[in-house]
Amino acid sequence: MTELYATLIFLFVLFTLLGSSIWIGLALMGVAFVGMELFTTRPAGDAMITTIWTSSSSWTLTALPLFIWMGEILYRTRLSQDMFRGLAPWMRWLPGGLLHTNIAGCTIFAAVSGSSAATLTTVGKMSIPELRKRGYPEYMIVGTLAGAATLGLMIPPSLTLIVYGVSINESIIKLFMAGIFPGLVLAALFMSYIVAWHYIRPDERPEPEPPMSFGTMLAESRFLIPVLCLVFAVIGSMYFGWATATEAAAVGVIGALVLANFQRSLTWEAFRESLMGATRTSAMIALILMGAAFLSLSMGFTGLPRALAAWIDEMNLSPITLIAALTVFYIILGMFLDGISSVVLTMAIVEPMIRQAGIDVIWFGIFIVVVVEMAQVTPPIGFNLFVLQGMTKHEISYISKVALPMVGLMLLMVVILVVFPELATWLPNNLRQGPT
């Protein structure tokens, strides 16, 4: 009964604080402080100071602000704008035409950003005006962009995977490698949706693009080379064991600065804005992680995670049944919290459950990213919905409706991961040994 009372108190205080519009990080600290005062004799202040310092001084966590800064640099320079020009010649001949630039652009930018919102803003800024000008249906432009932008959470370097890895003390590089194949498969599912639209709704197709010679296509592709080189430098250095995640992030920042300067698009104002944008985002995530670490300590004193894991074990749920239940749980939770908050808020309880059920923690990291991706495009708190509303001036209800097929494809991706778990585990299990 003690665990039940503790659970009810935790939930009551948490939802009271969240409902009062307090920052999520402070709300988590408040819940943890109440738990420490009620269920332990240890001084709550001393415990909070020690836990916050320990969680914040992780060397692995230094990769987070660096990857964020790299994405900010690309967003504020001409590197991102050149992507559409480099992609368009190769997408035009596919069924669905230039709509595929939404998917391909998000896939490429996700590999140097790690943020869903940054991916959406950057690719949307370059693709929405061009696709509208060419007469593509608005619901396809907005819907495909809303879904494809979530690839920023999956394809490395993913901020969500960094937070997950820090929360459960797992290798960031292995998690990054685990996200590559599922990310590409999800991108392929999004592109197949565009192909299906092309054949099912032939009356909505815009006028065909004028013919372009192969030589011209190759010439236009030169605008993609800088970003692709940056992608290979960051991901390749980790895969071949040449650099840790933090070192690869530093390589990415230096590479982004060099490329932007080479293109003469790195102004002092762009540099300052990128640095301040990265600082604000990093500080927000760090505060959430601090609160989550303190909450994990507080809940550990109550015995709630252990009791819940034991309860799950007694129910003899199969791993598939547990995954199905967690899918529903995270979809509901994602309607009210962003992806990173959902991960850090639940890991203290969910981690013992999945370990008890024998579920691979690397595979589960990819699963949880796919599920929280849906949170980005589901009302009422889908962050991508608000970003798209600002860019397109559409109502949230309209954006949610046109993004619904993409949510269905993400659910299909969960099924694919369950049926083919090697999709996420093969690459990290065969990863070349290097720095950790």
pLDDT tens-digit series, residues 335-365: 666 677 778 777 877 888 888 888 899 999 9
Contacts of 397 (CB under 8 A, 6+ apart): 379
Q: What are the structural domain ranges in the chain? A: 2-429
Tokens standing for 321? Answer: 């049944």
Say if residue 240 is exposed, middle or buried (CB neighbours under 10 Å; 0-12, 13-18, 19+): exposed
In the chain the first and final C-alpha atoms are separated, in Å, by 42
Q: How far apart are CA 213 and CA 243, in angstroms?
A: 41
> How many other CB atoms are there within 10 angstroms of residue 5's CB atom?
12
Entry pTM: 0.77
Find out whether 161 and 171 touch, Cβ atoms under 8 Å.
Answer: no
- Encode pLDDT of 278-327 as tens digits: 888 778 777 777 777 777 677 667 666 566 656 666 777 788 888 888 88
- Encode pLDDT of 115-124 as tens digits: 777 777 778 8
In a structure prediction context, what are the per-residue pLDDT tens digits for the chain, which is 436 residues long?
A: 555 666 677 667 766 776 676 777 777 788 788 877 777 777 777 778 777 777 676 666 777 788 778 877 877 777 666 776 777 777 778 888 888 888 988 888 777 776 777 777 778 877 888 888 888 999 999 999 988 888 877 888 788 888 888 888 888 888 989 999 999 999 999 999 999 999 999 888 887 777 777 777 777 777 778 878 888 888 888 777 788 778 888 888 898 888 888 877 778 888 888 888 888 877 877 777 777 777 767 766 766 656 665 666 677 778 888 888 888 888 877 766 667 777 877 787 788 888 888 889 999 999 998 988 887 787 766 667 777 887 788 887 888 889 899 989 999 999 999 999 999 999 888 865 554 4
Find out whether 378 and 407 touch, Cβ atoms under 8 Å.
Answer: yes
